[in-house]
Structure 1
Amino acid sequence: MGPHRLLYQALCKAGDKFVYPVLPAFAKPAWNHAAGPKTVFFWAPTIKWTLIGAGLADLARPADKLSLYQNSALFATGAIWTRYCLVITPINYYLSSVNFFVMCTGLAQLCRIAHYRYQNPDWETKEIMETHN
Protein backbone atom coordinates (compact mmCIF):
# COMPACT_ATOMS: atom_id res chain seq x y z
CA MET A 1 0.00 0.00 0.00
CA GLY A 2 1.45 3.32 -1.10
CA PRO A 3 1.95 6.31 1.16
CA HIS A 4 -0.67 8.31 -0.74
CA ARG A 5 -3.28 5.70 0.08
CA LEU A 6 -2.34 5.70 3.75
CA LEU A 7 -2.57 9.48 3.81
CA TYR A 8 -5.98 9.42 2.15
CA GLN A 9 -7.28 6.82 4.60
CA ALA A 10 -5.98 8.89 7.51
CA LEU A 11 -7.76 11.96 6.14
CA CYS A 12 -11.00 10.00 5.79
CA LYS A 13 -10.72 8.75 9.38
CA ALA A 14 -10.06 12.30 10.58
CA GLY A 15 -13.09 13.46 8.62
CA ASP A 16 -15.21 10.74 10.21
CA LYS A 17 -14.02 11.82 13.64
CA PHE A 18 -14.21 15.61 13.29
CA VAL A 19 -16.44 16.49 10.32
CA TYR A 20 -19.16 13.85 10.44
CA PRO A 21 -20.39 14.73 13.96
CA VAL A 22 -20.98 18.37 13.03
CA LEU A 23 -22.73 17.69 9.73
CA PRO A 24 -26.44 18.47 9.61
CA ALA A 25 -28.69 15.41 9.50
CA PHE A 26 -29.49 15.83 5.78
CA ALA A 27 -25.77 15.77 4.85
CA LYS A 28 -24.77 12.68 6.82
CA PRO A 29 -26.04 10.15 4.24
CA ALA A 30 -24.03 11.94 1.54
CA TRP A 31 -20.85 11.67 3.64
CA ASN A 32 -21.02 7.87 3.63
CA HIS A 33 -22.54 7.46 0.16
CA ALA A 34 -20.82 5.15 -2.31
CA ALA A 35 -20.13 8.23 -4.44
CA GLY A 36 -19.47 10.52 -1.49
CA PRO A 37 -16.45 12.64 -0.58
CA LYS A 38 -14.50 9.64 0.67
CA THR A 39 -14.32 8.19 -2.86
CA VAL A 40 -12.84 9.10 -6.22
CA PHE A 41 -16.41 9.31 -7.50
CA PHE A 42 -16.70 12.62 -5.67
CA TRP A 43 -13.31 14.20 -6.29
CA ALA A 44 -13.09 13.54 -10.02
CA PRO A 45 -16.22 15.58 -10.81
CA THR A 46 -15.20 18.24 -8.32
CA ILE A 47 -12.02 18.83 -10.30
CA LYS A 48 -13.93 18.56 -13.58
CA TRP A 49 -15.83 21.74 -12.72
CA THR A 50 -12.69 23.58 -13.87
CA LEU A 51 -13.63 22.62 -17.45
CA ILE A 52 -16.86 24.51 -17.00
CA GLY A 53 -14.98 27.45 -15.56
CA ALA A 54 -12.69 27.46 -18.59
CA GLY A 55 -15.69 27.26 -20.90
CA LEU A 56 -17.34 30.17 -19.15
CA ALA A 57 -14.11 32.15 -19.36
CA ASP A 58 -14.17 31.53 -23.12
CA LEU A 59 -17.39 33.54 -23.29
CA ALA A 60 -15.13 36.58 -23.13
CA ARG A 61 -13.18 35.44 -26.20
CA PRO A 62 -14.24 36.48 -29.68
CA ALA A 63 -16.20 33.73 -31.41
CA ASP A 64 -13.73 33.59 -34.29
CA LYS A 65 -11.01 32.52 -31.85
CA LEU A 66 -12.96 29.54 -30.48
CA SER A 67 -12.06 26.01 -31.51
CA LEU A 68 -14.82 24.10 -33.25
CA TYR A 69 -13.10 20.78 -32.53
CA GLN A 70 -12.48 21.47 -28.86
CA ASN A 71 -16.03 22.59 -28.21
CA SER A 72 -17.44 19.71 -30.23
CA ALA A 73 -15.44 17.36 -28.03
CA LEU A 74 -16.71 19.05 -24.87
CA PHE A 75 -20.29 18.82 -26.11
CA ALA A 76 -20.02 15.18 -27.18
CA THR A 77 -18.20 13.91 -24.11
CA GLY A 78 -20.53 15.85 -21.85
CA ALA A 79 -23.57 14.28 -23.53
CA ILE A 80 -22.16 10.75 -23.51
CA TRP A 81 -20.94 10.83 -19.91
CA THR A 82 -24.10 12.49 -18.61
CA ARG A 83 -26.03 9.45 -19.75
CA TYR A 84 -23.39 6.99 -18.60
CA CYS A 85 -23.36 8.40 -15.06
CA LEU A 86 -27.01 7.50 -14.71
CA VAL A 87 -26.56 3.83 -15.64
CA ILE A 88 -23.44 2.94 -13.66
CA THR A 89 -23.39 1.64 -10.11
CA PRO A 90 -23.35 3.63 -7.94
CA ILE A 91 -25.47 6.15 -9.83
CA ASN A 92 -23.48 9.34 -9.63
CA TYR A 93 -25.74 12.36 -9.91
CA TYR A 94 -22.90 14.71 -9.04
CA LEU A 95 -20.78 13.48 -11.95
CA SER A 96 -23.84 13.51 -14.17
CA SER A 97 -24.52 17.14 -13.32
CA VAL A 98 -20.97 18.25 -14.03
CA ASN A 99 -21.02 16.42 -17.37
CA PHE A 100 -24.37 18.01 -18.21
CA PHE A 101 -22.85 21.44 -17.66
CA VAL A 102 -19.77 20.49 -19.71
CA MET A 103 -22.19 19.60 -22.50
CA CYS A 104 -24.07 22.89 -22.08
CA THR A 105 -20.85 24.88 -22.11
CA GLY A 106 -19.70 23.15 -25.29
CA LEU A 107 -23.10 23.69 -26.89
CA ALA A 108 -23.13 27.39 -25.99
CA GLN A 109 -19.73 27.85 -27.60
CA LEU A 110 -20.76 25.85 -30.67
CA CYS A 111 -23.77 28.13 -31.03
CA ARG A 112 -21.50 31.16 -30.81
CA ILE A 113 -19.22 29.70 -33.50
CA ALA A 114 -22.19 28.90 -35.76
CA HIS A 115 -23.65 32.36 -35.26
CA TYR A 116 -20.32 34.02 -36.07
CA ARG A 117 -19.85 31.94 -39.20
CA TYR A 118 -23.42 32.60 -40.32
CA GLN A 119 -23.01 36.35 -39.80
CA ASN A 120 -19.58 36.36 -41.50
CA PRO A 121 -19.74 34.21 -44.63
CA ASP A 122 -16.15 35.12 -45.47
CA TRP A 123 -14.80 33.82 -42.14
CA GLU A 124 -12.59 31.24 -43.88
CA THR A 125 -10.86 33.91 -45.95
CA LYS A 126 -10.22 36.02 -42.85
CA GLU A 127 -8.83 33.00 -41.03
CA ILE A 128 -6.45 32.15 -43.86
CA MET A 129 -5.27 35.76 -44.12
CA GLU A 130 -4.59 35.91 -40.37
CA THR A 131 -2.55 32.71 -40.38
CA HIS A 132 -0.37 33.85 -43.27
CA ASN A 133 0.38 37.29 -41.84
Structure 2
Amino acid sequence: MKKVFGKKINRIDYEIRKGVYAVIFNSKKDKVLTVQNEKGHYFLPGGGIEDDESHTQCLARELLEETGYDAFISTYLGSAMRYFYSADGKPCLSQGYFYLAKLSKKKQKPIEDDHLLKWLEINFAKQLLIHEHHYWAVEKGVHG
Protein backbone atom coordinates (compact mmCIF):
# COMPACT_ATOMS: atom_id res chain seq x y z
CA MET A 1 0.00 0.00 0.00
CA LYS A 2 1.28 3.44 -0.91
CA LYS A 3 1.67 6.20 1.65
CA VAL A 4 -0.75 9.04 0.88
CA PHE A 5 -0.43 12.68 1.98
CA GLY A 6 -2.93 15.47 1.62
CA LYS A 7 -6.66 14.99 1.36
CA LYS A 8 -8.54 13.75 -1.67
CA ILE A 9 -11.73 15.68 -2.25
CA ASN A 10 -14.49 13.71 -3.95
CA ARG A 11 -15.70 14.84 -7.38
CA ILE A 12 -12.47 16.73 -8.10
CA ASP A 13 -10.49 15.66 -11.14
CA TYR A 14 -6.81 15.58 -10.16
CA GLU A 15 -4.01 15.87 -12.71
CA ILE A 16 -1.65 12.96 -12.03
CA ARG A 17 2.04 13.83 -12.05
CA LYS A 18 4.34 10.81 -11.92
CA GLY A 19 7.91 11.54 -10.93
CA VAL A 20 11.08 9.85 -9.74
CA TYR A 21 13.22 11.45 -7.04
CA ALA A 22 16.62 10.89 -5.46
CA VAL A 23 17.48 10.91 -1.79
CA ILE A 24 21.17 11.83 -1.70
CA PHE A 25 22.94 12.15 1.64
CA ASN A 26 26.32 13.64 2.46
CA SER A 27 28.98 11.31 3.90
CA LYS A 28 27.85 11.88 7.52
CA LYS A 29 24.22 11.27 6.53
CA ASP A 30 23.18 14.43 8.39
CA LYS A 31 22.35 16.46 5.24
CA VAL A 32 20.26 15.74 2.17
CA LEU A 33 20.67 17.26 -1.29
CA THR A 34 17.74 19.41 -2.40
CA VAL A 35 16.87 21.70 -5.27
CA GLN A 36 15.53 25.17 -4.54
CA ASN A 37 13.46 26.79 -7.29
CA GLU A 38 13.05 30.48 -8.11
CA LYS A 39 10.07 30.73 -5.72
CA GLY A 40 12.24 29.51 -2.82
CA HIS A 41 10.57 26.08 -2.63
CA TYR A 42 12.69 23.03 -1.83
CA PHE A 43 12.31 19.65 -3.53
CA LEU A 44 14.28 16.45 -3.81
CA PRO A 45 16.17 16.29 -7.11
CA GLY A 46 14.23 14.46 -9.79
CA GLY A 47 11.12 15.03 -11.82
CA GLY A 48 8.54 13.84 -14.27
CA ILE A 49 8.73 10.62 -16.25
CA GLU A 50 8.86 11.29 -20.01
CA ASP A 51 7.46 8.95 -22.68
CA ASP A 52 8.53 5.35 -22.03
CA GLU A 53 11.36 6.11 -19.59
CA SER A 54 12.09 3.65 -16.82
CA HIS A 55 12.47 5.01 -13.30
CA THR A 56 16.27 4.83 -13.49
CA GLN A 57 16.40 6.47 -16.94
CA CYS A 58 14.18 9.30 -15.73
CA LEU A 59 16.17 9.83 -12.55
CA ALA A 60 19.54 9.73 -14.33
CA ARG A 61 18.30 12.33 -16.85
CA GLU A 62 16.77 14.58 -14.19
CA LEU A 63 19.88 14.42 -11.98
CA LEU A 64 22.12 15.32 -14.92
CA GLU A 65 19.83 18.24 -15.86
CA GLU A 66 19.49 19.56 -12.30
CA THR A 67 22.93 18.85 -10.83
CA GLY A 68 25.25 18.33 -13.82
CA TYR A 69 26.37 15.01 -12.29
CA ASP A 70 26.06 11.39 -13.27
CA ALA A 71 24.70 9.38 -10.37
CA PHE A 72 24.72 5.90 -8.90
CA ILE A 73 21.08 4.99 -8.34
CA SER A 74 20.72 2.28 -5.75
CA THR A 75 17.99 1.21 -3.32
CA TYR A 76 14.32 1.75 -4.10
CA LEU A 77 12.81 3.38 -1.00
CA GLY A 78 9.18 3.19 -2.06
CA SER A 79 6.33 5.16 -3.52
CA ALA A 80 4.15 7.82 -1.96
CA MET A 81 1.48 10.21 -3.19
CA ARG A 82 0.40 13.72 -2.28
CA TYR A 83 -2.81 15.55 -3.13
CA PHE A 84 -2.20 19.29 -3.50
CA TYR A 85 -3.02 22.40 -5.52
CA SER A 86 -0.40 23.71 -7.94
CA ALA A 87 0.77 27.34 -7.85
CA ASP A 88 -1.85 28.16 -10.50
CA GLY A 89 -4.62 26.51 -8.47
CA LYS A 90 -4.96 23.21 -10.33
CA PRO A 91 -5.72 20.09 -8.26
CA CYS A 92 -2.82 17.64 -8.62
CA LEU A 93 -1.80 14.22 -7.42
CA SER A 94 1.96 13.80 -7.21
CA GLN A 95 2.84 10.13 -7.50
CA GLY A 96 6.47 9.89 -6.42
CA TYR A 97 8.92 7.00 -6.68
CA PHE A 98 11.98 7.43 -4.46
CA TYR A 99 15.50 5.99 -4.70
CA LEU A 100 18.70 6.33 -2.72
CA ALA A 101 21.45 7.70 -4.96
CA LYS A 102 24.98 9.12 -4.88
CA LEU A 103 26.51 11.70 -7.15
CA SER A 104 29.31 10.42 -9.36
CA LYS A 105 31.23 12.45 -11.95
CA LYS A 106 30.49 16.05 -12.88
CA LYS A 107 29.63 15.94 -16.60
CA GLN A 108 28.16 19.32 -17.38
CA LYS A 109 26.79 22.55 -16.02
CA PRO A 110 23.22 22.12 -14.73
CA ILE A 111 20.69 22.92 -17.46
CA GLU A 112 18.04 24.46 -15.21
CA ASP A 113 19.35 27.91 -14.20
CA ASP A 114 16.42 28.56 -11.87
CA HIS A 115 17.30 25.55 -9.69
CA LEU A 116 19.91 25.89 -6.94
CA LEU A 117 21.44 22.87 -5.27
CA LYS A 118 21.27 23.11 -1.48
CA TRP A 119 22.38 20.67 1.20
CA LEU A 120 19.78 20.77 4.00
CA GLU A 121 20.33 19.46 7.50
CA ILE A 122 17.93 16.56 7.99
CA ASN A 123 16.16 18.32 10.91
CA PHE A 124 15.37 21.34 8.67
CA ALA A 125 14.28 19.25 5.70
CA LYS A 126 10.90 18.52 7.28
CA GLN A 127 10.04 22.22 7.46
CA LEU A 128 11.59 23.22 4.13
CA LEU A 129 10.66 20.47 1.67
CA ILE A 130 7.44 21.62 -0.02
CA HIS A 131 5.99 18.08 -0.35
CA GLU A 132 5.45 15.83 2.67
CA HIS A 133 6.10 12.72 0.64
CA HIS A 134 9.61 13.98 -0.16
CA TYR A 135 10.39 14.18 3.57
CA TRP A 136 8.80 10.76 4.06
CA ALA A 137 11.38 9.41 1.59
CA VAL A 138 14.23 11.19 3.42
CA GLU A 139 13.15 9.53 6.67
CA LYS A 140 12.96 6.13 4.94
CA GLY A 141 16.48 6.70 3.63
CA VAL A 142 17.84 7.66 7.06
CA HIS A 143 16.15 4.86 8.99
CA GLY A 144 16.25 2.16 6.32
- TM interval, short-chain normalised: under 0.3
Larger % of strand: which?
Answer: 2
TM-score, normalised with respect to structure 2: 0.20
TM-score, normalised with respect to structure 1: 0.21
Larger % of helix: which?
Answer: 1
Q: Tell me: higher relative CO, structure 1 or 2? Use CA pairs within 8 A at least 6 residues apart.
A: 2
